[in-house]
């Protein structure tokens, strides 16, 4: 069966930027198909590159300014939220995705789920109420995504000669 890896990014010390960690914790406590792996990637940057190996699909989960109401979320293209000029020398998620695309042997399909933060405040280790309210809905959506991936993967496997 094809492996889906869900990578949740963010800094738990910067308010709503820590949503990825909260999502990873909830997903790990959920009943997910065997082919789904969940990682709290935190602020790993380029150190997360090995997580793109030996899997068919990666779902990146991250807080991003979508110009929506706080707690809203949607699937996005990398170009919508990770502009090269916003990447710092530490190698943020956008830089990581750019590096993965450049490395020929790392070619899983990559989807991105972005969550609109209410605020990103340094050294404030709590999610805003808007993101706390949205947390279960986001997790439920990701569980549905994972189950759908497993079904499609199983159907492909059954149809293979």
Per residue in 81-128, pLDDT tens? 766 554 443 457 888 888 898 886 868 999 999 999 998 878 888 999
DSSP string over the chain: ---EEEEEE--TTBGGGGHHHHHHHHHHTS---TTEEEEEEET-GGGGGGGGSS-SEEEEEEE---SS-TT-EEEE-HHHH--GGG--TT--HHHHHHHHHHSTT---EEEEEEE--S---TTB-S--HHHHHHHHHHHHHHHHHHHHHHHHHHHHHHH--
> For the chain, which domains are there?
4-155 (3.40.50.1450)
More confidently predicted of 1 and 119 = 119
Mean of the per-residue pLDDT values of the chain: 89
**pLDDT (0 to 100) of residue 122:** 81
The pTM for the full model equals: 0.90
Quick one: pLDDT at residue 90?
45
Q: What is the mean pLDDT of residues 131-151?
A: 97
């Amino acid at each position: 069966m094809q492996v889906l890896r869900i990578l949740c990014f963010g800094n738990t010390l910067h308010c709503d930027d820590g949503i990825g960690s909260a999502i990873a914790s909830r997903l790990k406590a959920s009943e997910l198909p065997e082919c789904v792996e969940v990682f709290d990637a935190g602020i790993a940057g380029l150190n997360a590159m090995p997580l793109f190996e030996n899997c068919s699909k990666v779902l990146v989960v991250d807080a991003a300014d979508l110009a929506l109401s706080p707690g809203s979320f949607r699937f996005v293209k990398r170009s919508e939220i990770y502009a090269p000029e916003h990447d710092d020398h530490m190698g943020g998620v956008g830089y990581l995705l750019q590096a993965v695309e450049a490395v020929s042997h790392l070619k899983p399909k990559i989807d991105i789920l972005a969550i609109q933060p209410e605020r990103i405040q340094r050294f404030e280790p709590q999610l805003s109420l808007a993101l706390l309210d949205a947390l279960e809905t986001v997790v439920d959506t990701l569980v549905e995504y994972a189950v759908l991936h497993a079904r499609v993967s199983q159907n492909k496997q059954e149809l293979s000669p």
